[in-house]
Amino acid sequence: MIDQSTIERIIDAAEITDVVSEFVTLRRRGVNLLGLCPFHNEKTPSFTVSPAKGIFKCFGCGKGGNSVNFIMEHEQLTYPEALRWLAKKYHIEIEEKEETEEDKQLKDARESMMIVSEFAKNYFHRYLLKENEGRTIGLSYLKERGIRDDIIKKFELGFCPDGKDIFTQAAQQEGYKIDFLEQTGLTVRRDNWVADRFAGRVMFPIHNIAGRVIAFGGRILKDDKKSAKYLNSPESEIYHKSRVLYGIFQAKRDITRLDKCYLVEGYTDVLSFHQAGIENVVASSGTALTPDQIRLIRRFTPNVTIIYDGDAAGIKASLRGIDLVLEEGVNVKVLLLPNGEDPDSFARSMSASQLTEYIKANETDFIRFKTQLLLGSTESDPVSRARLISDIMQSIAVIPDAITRSVYIKECSKLLDVHENVLYTEIRKILQKENEDQQRKDIREQIKTKQASALVAEKATIANPFEIEEREILRILLKHFGREIFEVESDDPNEPVLLTVGQYVLGELDTDGLTSNSDDINRMLDIFRENCENKDFEPARFFINHPEAGLSKMASDLLSEKYVESKRWVKSGAFVEAEADILDLLVPRIVQEYKLRKVKAMLKQIEKKIQQTSTDGDFARIMELQNQYINLKKVAKYLSEQLGFRAIN
C-alpha cells in the first residue's frame, strides 16, 4: 500500500507533458500540445495534452486522463504499479508495508515477468564482468570485436553461464518462481527437466520504449553447427517481437532531436553506431521489418534511412522493407554499404562525423535506389522493363501524400526515360483498383460498426436516458463549483449570503430528490455534496486524480477541449469564453432543463400507468394517477416558461 500523502507527491511531480514526452513527440499548438496517439494508429495527430489541466485526451480513440492513467494505459499497469513507475522516475521514495506471501502472488504476472527479466539482466551483466567464465569467454569475445566498456554498460550486455541450469538455479535460490522463468523463456522446462535457454551465450537485453527489459537475444560463441548463431526470447506476455525495436530506448531522444532514424539489421550494428557516436539508430532484430515497428519510429520522426549490407540478402531485405515504410507515410532513404561491409564493420572504420557525412552523401531516395538496382539487369529487355516500371509504380502508389508521389514520378520519368503521363496513368490504375478494394472493405466495416454502435446506443438509453443533461451538470460543477453566483436573503441585511454554483445546483437537485441512474454520476455528486462548504476543494484536480478509473475518466472527458463549452452558447452566437461571466443565467437554465426532462419522463410513465390501470378498473388509483399527472403537468409548464419555451398546452 502506498499512503495518500506519497500518492499526492507523486501526482504533483508527474507533470503530464513530461510524462507523455517519454513516449510521444509533442508539438505546441496554442495552449496545448499535440502528437500522434500512442494508443491507436493515426497519421494526423489527434492526441492532445493540456499542461494547464494536467490531462491528455485523444480525439481519435477517446482515451484520456491524467499522467497516472497515461502510464497505466501505455505500460499496461495497474494503478499502484503506475504510481510506482512514476515514483521511480521522479525519485520519490515509497514507504510500503512488508509484502505478504499473498501480495506477492497477487502481483500481476506481467510485472513478475519484467522483474524476472530485470534480475536475469543484472545476473548476466555481473557474470560477464565479474566471473571468470564470463570474462574469459564472453568479455574477451566482445573485446575482440572492439566493443568498448561504456557500450557494454550502456546496453547492459551479459553472459549466461555455460551449463545445464546454472542460471535457473541461481534465480530460484533468489526466490524467483520457475513459472515466470519459463514464461519469459529464460528457462526451458519439460516434465522433470529444466535447462537454461541461453547457456553459454553472450546476452543482449532487449528494452521496451520505457527502458524495462522484456526479452533477450543471445549469441553463441562455440563453433556449433547445430545451434543458431543468434537465439531470441520466445514471444510472451511482455514480448511481442513484431512491436519491438532493438535500441529504441537508447535512441529515442536522439531520433527526436535529430529528426532522423537509422535502421540497421542486428544488435552489434546498433552497438557499433553508438560506439561511433551515432545514437539515433535501431534494429529490427530477429524479424523482417513490420508495420508496428515503423509506427514505433514514426512516433519520433518521419525520416528513416535503411542501412543494410551490400550483399544480395541485404538488398532483398531493404526492398521488402521499403514499401512497408512508404505506406506509413515515412520518408525513406536507403544506403547500401560497399560489398563485403556490414553496418557493424563499417561503423567501426570511421568517426561519427565521417560516418554521418558518408551516409548523407551516399543515401539515395528509394525510387532511385530501386530503379538503379532493377535497371541494371533489364535495360534491354522490353518485357522486364515494363514489369520494372509497374513494380516501381506500385511502390509509389502506396505513398499517402500526393505531392511526394508527384516528386517521385518526376524523378522516375527521368531515370527510366518514360513520359510522366504514362507513369501517372499507371499509378491511377493502381490507385483506382485499391480504392475499389478499400471501398468494399469500408462498407463491410461500416455495417459492422453500425450494428455495434446501434447496440451501444440502445444500451446507453436504457441505462441512463438523462446522461447528456447529467454530464452537463457535472461539467459545470467541475469547472465552477466554488464560484459565487447568487445573493440570497438573510437575517442580517448588511451581510448577504452568497450562494456558490455547487450549493445552488446540489440544493436544487436535493429539493426535488433527483438522482441519476448511473452509479458513477451519483458517486461524483456525493463527493461534491461532502465538499460543499470546503473552500479548498479543487474538483477538477480531485476527480482527474481519483483512483477510480471511471471517475477520473469522466472528469477528464468532461474537462477536455471538445466538451468544455456548452454547445448551446456557441450556437446562439455568444462568445465561448464568456461561460464564466454568464453563470447566473447558465446554471439555473441547465438545472431547469434537466428537471424538465425528468418531469416529461415521469409524465410519460404516468400515462402508461393510467392506461394499464384503466383495464383493471381501479378508479381510485386512476384518480390518484390523474392528480399526479395534472400536478406534474403544471410543473412542466412552469419550467418550460422559465426556460422561455412556448408553453405546451
Report DSSP state, residue 578.
G
What is the pattern of x (binds Zn ion, CB under 5 A) and - over residues 35-54? Answer: --x-xx--------------
Distance between CA 144 and CA 147 in Å, rounded?
8
Would strands 303-308 and 261-264 be described as parallel, antiparallel, or unpaired? parallel
Binding pattern for the stretch 239-278 against Zn ion, x by CB under 5 A and - elsewhere: ----------------------------------------
Which CB, 63 or 241, lies closer to Zn ion?
63
Instruction: Please check whether residue 230 is in contact with residue 198, taking contact to mean a CB–CB distance below 8 angstroms.
Output: no
In whole angstroms, the minimum distance from the beta carbon of 48 to Zn ion comes to 10
**Contacts for 551 with CB less than 8 Å, ≥ 6 apart:** 520, 523, 524, 543
**Whole-angstrom Cα distance, residue 102 to residue 178?**
17
Q: How far is CA 604 from the centre of its chain?
A: 45
Q: Which stretch binds Zn ion (CB under 5 A): 61-69, 83-91, 256-264, 639-647?
A: 61-69
Helix (H, G, I), strand (E, B) or coil at 533: coil
Residue keyed to cell 505506406: 327
* 478, 592 Cβ separation under 8 angstroms: no
Instruction: Give exposure, 431-448, as e/b (b: 16+ Cβ within 10 Å).
Output: eeeeeeeeeeeeeeeeee
73 vs 565, which CB is nearer to Zn ion?
Answer: 73
Q: Which is nearer to Zn ion, 295 or 385 (CB)?
A: 295
Interior CA angle at 16 toward 15 and 20, to 5°?
125
Q: Cβ neighbours of residue 597 under 8 Å, at least 6 residues apart?
A: 466, 469
Strand order in the sheet with 47-50: 27-29, 32-35, 47-50, 55-58, 64-65
Report H helices in 331-381. 343-348, 352-362, 366-378
The residues in 279-308 that bind Zn ion, with binding defined as CB under 5 A, are: none
Q: How far is the CB of 201 from Zn ion (least distance, A)?
A: 39
Helices 366-378, 312-327: crossing angle, 10 deg rounding: 140
Closer to Zn ion by Cβ: residue 44 or 494: 44
Least separation in angstroms between residue 237's CB and Zn ion is 23
Of 61 and 228, CB closest to Zn ion: 61
In the complex, the smallest distance separating the C-beta of residue 607 from Zn ion, rounded to whole angstroms, is 44
Q: Tell me the one-letter amino acid at 540.
A: A
Binding-site member from 36, 58, 245, 332 for Zn ion (CB under 5 A):
58
Q: How far is the CB of 54 from Zn ion (least distance, A)?
A: 19
Closer residue to Zn ion, CB minimum distance, 328 or 426: 328
Asked if residue 60 binds Zn ion (CB under 5 A), the reply is yes
Q: Residue 56 or residue 543: which is nearer to Zn ion going by CB?
A: 56
Which region among 60-68, 110-118, 190-198, 263-271 touches Zn ion (by CB under 5 A)? Answer: 60-68
Q: Cell digits for 299?
A: 512516433
Least distance (Å) from Zn ion to the CB of residue 59? 8
Closest approach of Zn ion to the CB of residue 65, in Å: 12
Pick the closer one to Zn ion by CB: 36 or 214: 36
Tell me whether residue 60 or residue 163 sits nearer to Zn ion (CB atom): 60
Residue 49 or residue 506: which is nearer to Zn ion going by CB? Answer: 49
CB nearer to Zn ion: give 60 or 465: 60
Complex with Zn ion: residue 58 or 596, whichever CB lies closer: 58
DSSP string, 394-405: HHHHT-S-HHHH
Distance (Å) of CA 241 to CA 47, 166, 286, 429: 26, 27, 8, 36
Q: Residue 251 and residue 154: Cα distance in Å, rounded? A: 12
Least gap, CB of 56 to Zn ion (angstroms): 10
- The interface with Zn ion within residues 10-39 (CB under 5 A) comprises 37, 39
Helix (H) or strand (E) holding 29: strand 27-29
Question: What gap in Å lies between CA 221 and CA 199, rounded to an integer?
Answer: 10
Segment interacting with Zn ion, rule: CB under 5 A, options 56-64, 316-324, 329-337, 519-527: 56-64
- Smallest gap from Cβ 357 to Zn ion, in A, equals 39
Size of site (CB under 5 A) for Zn ion: 6
Q: How far is the CB of 288 from Zn ion (least distance, A)?
A: 27
CB of 540 to Zn ion, least distance (A): 22
Give the whole-angstrom CA distance, residue 427 versus residue 408. 12
* Site residues (CB under 5 A) for Zn ion, limited to 393-452: none
Kindly tell me which of 553 and 595 has the beta carbon lying closer to Zn ion. 553
Output the 3-class SS for 448-461. HHHHHHHHHHHHHH
* Rounded Cα gap, residues 321 and 556, in angstroms: 40
CB of 178 to Zn ion, least distance (A): 39
Closer CB to Zn ion, 39 or 230, in the complex: 39
Minimum CB distance to Zn ion, residue 74 (Å): 11
CA atoms within 13 A on the CB side of 237: 18
145: cell is 570485436
Rounded-to-integer distance, Cα 325 and Cα 318, Å: 10
Give Dmax (Cα) for the chain: 104
Shorter beta-carbon distance to Zn ion: residue 62 or 400: 62
Sign of CA dihedral 115, 117, 121, 123: positive
When the beta carbons of 35 and 539 are compared against Zn ion, the nearer one is 35
Interface stretch with Zn ion, choices 15-23, 55-63, 149-157, 618-626 (CB under 5 A): 55-63
Fill in the amino acid letter for 84.
R
Residues that bind Zn ion (CB under 5 A): 37, 39-40, 58, 60-61
